[in-house]
Amino acid sequence: MNKKIAIIGAGGHGKVIGEIALLNKYKAIDFFDDNIIGLDSKFPFPILGNCKVLVNNLKNYDDYFVAIGDNKIRYEKMNWLLKLKVSFVNLIHPRSTVSQYSTLSTGICIMANAAVNPGASIGEGAIINTSASIDHDCLIEDYAKISPGCSLSGKVKVGKLTTIGTGSSVHPGIVIGSNVKIGVGSSIFKNITDNTVFKK
């Protein structure tokens, strides 16, 4: 591949995304971040400046991605870029399993050892993190985050901007609303309404 990608977000999540881009054979992987001060000096990819610098260099890149773990900030940055009419991609780790019978929107990351099974639908800007399992016919709406080691049984719905905490399990057919935060290691047996903080 002879393409160049610009990625917003040079934090810990960005490191993982950068490596997935590397495994997807991008020729150049450049990062931009508005919080330049305090960034890891050993960040493994070039950090070329803030988002204003990116705007002045849009023509230099083929593809774009937002690598920010916070759902609302990821939403804001991605929508800002969408207004600039850039080309978003999905970054999918080669050691993940994504069914050809699933449906993916754009700006999605799917990390190592994650599984997305037939009939599942993954919304815009969603994160399917390391070793997460999305079973058949699940619906993960826009800008939701499924944290490492989560297990979603069949026909689960996860609303927009919702975070499922690390190692959580969700039983079949459960509906989780929008802007919900679910604590680490939770087991979800019942539906959860919008704007809820759920702790096991």
Band (1; pLDDT cuts 50, 70, 90): low
Question: How high is the pLDDT of residue 89?
Answer: 97
Residues 10, 172: Cα–Cα separation, whole Å:
36
Residue 59, phi then psi, degrees to nearest 5: -70, -10
Query: Would you place residue 37 in the very low, low, confident or very high pLDDT band (cuts 50, 70, 90)?
Result: confident
The Cα 150–Cα 173 span in angstroms is 16
pLDDT of residue 40: 73
- Going by C-alpha positions, the residue among 126, 20, 21 that lies closest to residue 74 is 126
- Tell me the pLDDT tens digit for each residue of 78-133: 999 999 999 999 999 999 999 999 999 999 999 999 999 999 999 999 999 999 99
170 close to 185: Cβ distance less than 8 angstroms: no
Q: Model pTM greater than 0.75?
A: yes
Whether 136 sits among the annotated catalytic residues: the reply is yes
Read off the pLDDT band of 171 (50, 70, 90).
very high
Q: Is 80 exceeded by the pLDDT of residue 60?
A: yes
- The whole-number pLDDT of residue 126 equals 98
Tens of pLDDT along 130-157?
999 999 999 999 999 999 999 999 999 9
* pLDDT score, position 186: 97
